[in-house]
Chain A
Amino acid sequence: MNDVLDVALRLVIVFAVFMVLPLVVGQTEHKVMAHMQGRLGPMYAGGFHGWAQLVADGVKFAQKEDIVPAEADRRIFQLAPAVALLPYLLVLVAIPIGPSEGAVGQVVDAGIFFVLAVMGVGVLGSLMAGWASANKFSLLGGLRTAAQLLAYELPMLLAAASVAMAAGTVSLPGILDAFEWWWLPWQIVGALVFFVAGLAELQRPPFDMPVADSEIIFGAYTEYTGLRFALFLLAEYAGIVVLCGLTTVLFLGGWHGPFGADGLGWVWTLLKTAVLAFVVIWLRVSYPRLREDQLQKLAWTTLIPLALAQIALTGIVKVAIS
């Protein structure tokens, strides 16, 4: 009975984090973007600096009519948002937030492979949405999504493999246990490759070609309204949380910090994740959208060679110090 209670409690906590953190990132994006662009952003909903804006947005989305286009493939069209969102919930289960046994939803032996595999499944949701909408813009968006995923999955995997080599394990808590501060300069190239490839996989600006609103309206999500559209948006922000959390765990040492290792580890994890999330928002405000050919070129001619070089460096140092 105790075990059941333990599992249930962990799942409830993970679910709560999954519901709250993406909204926090979304609200931060509203405010940070606004201030970087010399405006105020939402100020009214909820009273204090518009903190309840996203809650109000959620209520608005829930009230809208759920429309399925007449020509669309109904079942796949309706299933797609769930396929896009649920993988991120699953990934969150495996990300350790602190040093103790209780600070991770579930210890997964092959943690890196688990998180990357499940995150890859999420993209199927966009592909299903793009195809099932029976809309040319949606289909183009789906195509671009697939091309982008194919290009950026490889550098992401290679960068993660470099950390796994350094730590000698593929389990996320195991990697954190093995972490030393000098891994930071050692793995910095891998970290950059991982973060950039992750941004591209999430289709965040400047890699938002698949949803480029000035060309193809909103890509695969063009035909969606109401709650299903909100689920796609939630998937994007959950993706930011997951990507930043993963980068923190793999490359920035997770709960390791200059002080307060006992009991304060989760603060370090959250702090590093928050800083990375801020960088994600910052990049959106500062960079113009990359063209499709530039996207592919960046992945195949820059990121993959960099990731391979990082793996070679990791191997050399690993052999040298052992």
Chain B
Amino acid sequence: MTLAATAAHAALAAHPAPSGFLSPTGVEIAFLLVGIATLGAALVTVTTKQLVHAALWLVVALGGLAVEYLLLTAEFIAWVQVLIYVGSVVVLLLFGLMLTRAPIGRSPDADSGNRWAALGVAVAAAGALVWVVVDAFRTTWIDLDGPAQGSTEATGSFLFRHWVLPFEALSVLLLAALVGAIVLSRKRGKEQS
């Protein structure tokens, strides 16, 4: 108790600015609550035994992430998140599930012996990402009253001024994947005929 109080005091002293660590403004409380809901939905996604329910919980988790982006004023990223992940990736997932098998009720074989290895990888990846983000943005605060820092214009100019090379490299990578997919599907067609 006293330890937490001192820690909180130290945190406040470190940031004398109005933006203390998790000062209870409405936006920050909302951010935390949505974050918890997103985490919960993600956990249900990987633990539920019902395949289609897992896909639908994934929608909740991805939508929660979009809300988090919105709360961080990154409106453009938020809508792209909904468009790509909820609108396309999950639809593709559901399409695949319905095309192969999508039983109503539990799938007893929806389990894997690798679950502990998967848990380890997930925890390691999450740890690395959280550490990087915390380390990178430790003292950065978003000014909610000023102009939106994550508006489409800001995002666009930032992306194409400072991050053009990674952006182009990524598009080449995606193009390679696309070409690879076409090559693979054509090869299989030849074998059949």
Interface residues of A (CB under 8 A from B): 71-73, 76, 108-110, 113-114, 116-118, 120-121, 123-124, 127-128, 130-132, 134, 139, 142-143, 146-147, 149-150, 153, 157, 169-171
Contacts and interface: CB of A to CB of B under 8 A. Distances in A.
B59 A124 contact: yes
Contacts of B102: 131, 139
B47 interface: no
B44 interface: no
Given A123-B91, A150-B95, 16 more contacts: A71-B104, A76-B53, A109-B148, A116-B83, A117-B82, A117-B86, A118-B82, A120-B91, A124-B86, A124-B94, A128-B56, A131-B94, A143-B95, A143-B98, A146-B95, A153-B88
A117 B87 CA distance: 6
A127 B93 CA distance: 11
Interface centre among B75, B76, B152 (most CB of A within 10 A): B152
B42 to A, nearest CB: 18
A71 B56 CA distance: 19
B92 interface: yes
DSSP class of A's interface residues: helix, strand, loop or mixed? helix
B156 to A, nearest CB: 9
A304 to B, nearest CB: 13
Contacts of B105: 73
Contacts of B65: none
Contacts of B94: 124, 127, 131, 142, 146
29 contacts: A76-B52, A109-B152, A110-B75, A110-B76, A110-B151, A116-B87, A117-B79, A117-B83, A120-B82, A120-B83, A120-B91, A121-B87, A123-B91, A124-B59, A127-B91, A127-B94, A128-B56, A131-B102, A134-B104, A139-B102, A143-B98, A143-B99, A146-B91, A146-B94, A146-B98, A149-B91, A150-B92, A169-B152, A170-B152
A114 B79 contact: yes
A124 B91 contact: yes
A153 to B, nearest CB: 6
B22 interface: no
B54 interface: no
B90 A124 contact: yes
Interface string B126-162: 0000000000000000000000100110000000000
Contacts of B90: 124
Interface in B65-94: 75-76, 79-80, 82-83, 86-88, 90-92, 94
